[in-house]
Amino acid sequence: MPRYYFHIKDDVTTLDREGTNLADLDAARKEAVGLSGEVLRDGAHLSLWSGSPWVLWVTDQPEDQGQTLFTLSFSAVQGALSWI
């Protein structure tokens, strides 16, 4: 079973040293979406309003080594967007 490493950048960067064993890349994607929701709900949402995106990326090695498999990026904008 492959091990996936979930790293987060908000006001600070947190690198995953332990990783999580998951069945496949689809399971890692599902885990990343769930983890993002939990972290944002528990307070990281505040950094969204600073103008920098909140980012979670997943690699196949610890501490941001190896290959980046995918990235989730969240940002917030105050006011109306012209393209909506």
Mean pLDDT of the chain, nearest integer: 90
Q: For the chain, how many structural domains are there in total?
A: 1
Q: For position 37, what pLDDT does the model report?
A: 92
In a domain, 40, yes or no: yes
Among the listed residues 33, 79, 36, the one whose alpha carbon sits nearest the alpha carbon of residue 54: 36
Q: Is residue 61 included in any domain, yes or no? A: yes
- Give the structural domain span for 68: 3-74
81 found inside a domain: no
- Provide the whole-model pTM: 0.88
Q: Which of 47, 67, 44, 72 minimizes the C-alpha distance to 57?
A: 72
Percent of the chain with pLDDT over 70: 90
12-45 confidence digits (pLDDT tens)? 899 999 999 999 999 999 999 999 999 888 876 6
Q: Is residue 12 included in any domain, yes or no?
A: yes
CA atoms of 64 and 57, how far apart (whole Å): 9
Q: Could you give the residue ranges of the DSSP H alpha helices within 44-83? A: 45-48
Look at residues 9, 1, 56 and name the one whose alpha carbon lies nearest to residue 29: 56
